[in-house]
Structure 1
Amino acid sequence: MKCATIVLAVAVATFAPSLAESRRIVGGQFAEEHQFPYQIGLFLDGNFRCGGSIIDSQWILTASHCVLDGVDKIPAKGFKVHVGSANLEQGQLYAVAETFAHEQYGSFQNDIALIKLQDKLEFSEGVQPIELNTVELPVDTPVIISGYGRIGDGQPISEQLKYNTAFVESKEICRSMTGLSGKGLICFKSPADNGACNGDSGGPAAHNDKLVGVANFVLQGCGTQYPDGGNGTIDDSDKDGLTVADVLKIEQ
Structure 2
Amino acid sequence: MSTSAKPSIDMRILNGNDAAIGQFPFIVSVIRMGVHQCGGSILSNRYVLSAAHCIGHFDGNGNFILRDVKKYTIRAGSNNHLCGGVIAKVAEFVANENYFNDLHDLSILRLKTALIYSNTIKAITLDTSVVPVGTTVTIAGWGRQSPFGALATKLQYTTEKVLSRSACYDKIVLDSPDIYCLARPVNNGVCCGDSGGPAILADKLVAVASFVVGAHCGVDYPDGFAKISTHLDWIRAHSDI
TM norm structure 2: 0.91
Describe the shift of the 1:187–1:106 C-alpha distance in structure 2 as closer, same or farther (beyond 3 A). closer
Aligned mate of 2:11, from 22, 46, 55 = 22
Q: Distance in 1 between matches of 2:84 and 2:7?
A: 35
* Alpha carbons 1:96, 1:117 under 8 Å: kept: yes
1:226 and 2:221 aligned? yes
Letter in 1 for 2:219: T
Q: Distance in 2 between matches of 1:60 and 1:225?
A: 31
In the TM superposition, residue 250 of structure 1 has moved relative to its aligned partner by: 2.2
* Alpha carbons 1:232, 1:244 under 8 Å: kept: no
In the TM superposition, residue 251 of structure 1 has moved relative to its aligned partner by: 6.5
1:73 and 2:66 aligned? yes
Aligned mate of 2:156, from 152, 155, 162 = 162
Q: Distance in 1 between matches of 2:97 and 2:166?
A: 29
Describe the shift of the 1:44–1:178 C-alpha distance in structure 2 as closer, same or farther (beyond 3 A). same
* Alpha carbons 1:85, 1:126 under 8 Å: kept: yes
Q: Distance in 1 between matches of 2:150 and 2:53?
A: 20
Q: Distance in 1 between matches of 2:125 and 2:143?
A: 23
Q: Distance in 1 between matches of 2:27 and 2:239?
A: 24
Q: C-alpha offsets along residues 226-249 of structure 1, whole Å, 9 cap, x if unaligned? A: 1211200114xxxxxxx1432321
After TM superposition, list the pairs within 5 Å mapping 1:12-51 onto structure 2: 14=2, 18-23=7-12, 25-51=13-39
Match of 1:238 in 2: none
Match of 1:84 in 2: 77
Q: C-alpha offsets along residues 92-133 of structure 1, whole Å, 9 cap, x if unaligned? A: 110000010112323222211100000111010000111111
Letter in 2 for 1:19: S
**3-state DSSP of counterpart to 2:184:** strand
Q: Distance in 1 between matches of 2:176 and 2:195?
A: 21
Q: Distance in 2 between matches of 1:15 and 1:40?
A: 27
* Alpha carbons 2:168, 2:175 under 8 Å: kept: no
Letter in 2 for 1:72: I
In the TM superposition, residue 142 of structure 1 has moved relative to its aligned partner by: 1.4
1:245 and 2:229 aligned? no
Structure 2 gap segments, 5+ residues each: 59-63
Match of 2:194 in 1: 200
Letter in 1 for 2:11: S
Q: Which runs of 4+ in 1 moved over 3 A?
A: 13-17
Letter in 2 for 1:229: G
Q: Distance in 1 between matches of 2:57 and 2:183?
A: 30
Of 176-185 and 49-58, more deviation after overlay is shown by: 176-185
Query: Cα RMSD between the aligned structures?
Result: 1.6
* Alpha carbons 1:102, 1:112 under 8 Å: kept: yes
TM norm structure 1: 0.87
Describe the shift of the 1:251–1:202 C-alpha distance in structure 2 as closer, same or farther (beyond 3 A). closer
In the TM superposition, residue 153 of structure 1 has moved relative to its aligned partner by: 1.6
* Structure with greater contact order relative to length (CA < 8 Å, sep ≥ 6): 1
* Alpha carbons 1:58, 1:120 under 8 Å: kept: yes
Q: Distance in 2 between matches of 1:244 and 1:82?
A: 25
Letter in 1 for 2:125: E
Of 218-227 and 79-88, more deviation after overlay is shown by: 218-227
In the TM superposition, residue 137 of structure 1 has moved relative to its aligned partner by: 1.6
In the TM superposition, residue 14 of structure 1 has moved relative to its aligned partner by: 4.3
Describe the shift of the 1:186–1:104 C-alpha distance in structure 2 as closer, same or farther (beyond 3 A). closer
The count of aligned residue pairs is 232
Structure 1 gap segments, 5+ residues each: 1-12, 236-242
**3-state DSSP of counterpart to 1:60:** strand
